[in-house]
Amino acid sequence: MKTVNTAKEVRTRVERWRCHGRTIGFVPTMGALHEGHISLIQAARRACDRVVVSIFVNPKQFIPNEDFGNYPRDIKRDSRIAAAEKVDLLFAPSVDEMYPEGFDTRVRVSDRLTETLCGLSRPNHFSGVAVIVAKLLILVHPHKAYFGQKDFQQTLIVQQLARDLNLDCEIEVQPTVREADGLAKSSRNGYLSEEERRAAPIVYQALKLAEGILQVGERNPRDMIEAVNKRLRSESLIEIEYVAVKNANTLEDLNVLTGRVLTAVAVRLGRTRLIDNIIVEVPSGS
């Protein structure tokens, strides 16, 4: 595995592969690699000739008073993991490399996708996500880029971005990887205290409750949201940010629970913010 730190180096190597007919798979990360990231790398490895992973803690997607300064960073550990997964190229740029002096470009994707769910409490977060993803997709020029379903809202935004800017890249969404008790793998799980970690699986339990409610015929979104909220409120350590039910294709509200139904949750456990979601296909008329 080769590690590069500049835009020029990554572009040169990838374009050389493309000239030789190689397909490029790309996994953008902020480091602190875990089994969820590994599943994305393995999906890219199965489908593509060459795999590129980026590690960049993007300051533009953190809102004031978030954990940018404390976000876990261990490039040596991440490099070992990437090498073990047979990554061909690791791109680990500095902030100055990605945002040089004078950088003043913003990328804004559809308000329908960004001004809901996590976008309501994290203003400008998705603009920061969009600008770094656009830069990375332009630099790496992959045939396929891989993202996890845990960040489902982000995946829809990235898909819209790639379509609208003709970035000639397929955005592949892979299933959420979970702990044995259902907690979605996340770099921020390490912030949880022992007591908070014991409480955290209730998030997935509440989502599975939503799935079960849909499967037995509930079609009223307000009743389902209340049931999920009630389950979450049964854990005293949980502070609910939102429970929402949306059309999984558009993030529009649903009057009747039918079609591709997204149930999404955001909570806080102490200083840790956890998000998760589940998607259920509900046949019309069922």
Q: Which element (helix H / strand E) includes 277? A: strand 272-282
The single-letter code of the amino acid at 55 is I
The CA-atom distances, in angstroms, between 33 and each of 59, 76, 78, 176 are 18, 11, 6, 14
Q: Is 37 a catalytic site residue?
A: yes
**pLDDT of amino acid 265:** 98
The answer to whether residues 278 and 210 touch, using CB atoms and an 8 Å cutoff, is yes
Contact 190, 72 (CB under 8 A): yes
Residue 278: pLDDT band by 50, 70, 90 thresholds? very high
CB atoms within 10 A of CB 212: 12
Q: Percent of the chain scored above 70 by pLDDT?
A: 99
pLDDT at 138: 98
What average pLDDT is seen over the chain? 97
C-alpha dihedral (166, 149, 27, 162), degrees to nearest 10: 10
Distance CA 86, CA 187 (A): 21
Cross-strand partners of 55: 29
Tokens of 153: 């809202």
Catalytic residue, candidates 20, 34, 37, 141 = 37
Judging by beta carbons within 10 Å of its beta carbon (0-12, 13-18, 19+), is residue 161 exposed, middle or buried?
A: buried
Question: CA-to-CA distance for 235 and 212, rounded, in angstroms?
Answer: 20
| CA–CA separation, 79 and 84 (whole Å) | 8
Q: What domains sit in the chain, N to C, each tagged with a CATH number?
A: 2-174 (3.40.50.620), 187-280 (3.30.1300.10)
- Over residues 43-53, the pLDDT tens digits come to 999 999 999 99
CA distance 226 to 159: 31
The model's confidence at residue 286, banded by pLDDT at 50, 70 and 90, is: low
* pLDDT bracket for residue 284 (50, 70, 90): confident
> How large is the average pLDDT for residues 74-89?
98
As a whole number of angstroms, the distance between CA 77 and CA 55 comes to 12
User: The tokens of 175 are what?
Assistant: 């299933």
Residue-wise pLDDT tens digits, 27-78 = 999 999 999 999 999 999 999 999 999 999 999 999 998 999 999 999 999 9
pLDDT band at 285 (very low <50, low <70, confident <90, very high): low
Using alpha carbons, select from 50, 1, 4 the residue that is nearest to residue 23: 50
Mean pLDDT of 177-205: 97
183 secondary structure, DSSP code: P
**pLDDT tens digits, residue range 222-266?**
999 999 999 999 999 999 999 999 999 999 999 999 999 999 999
Predicted pLDDT at 63: 93
Residue 225 token pair:
């949201």
Average pLDDT over residues 165-185: 98
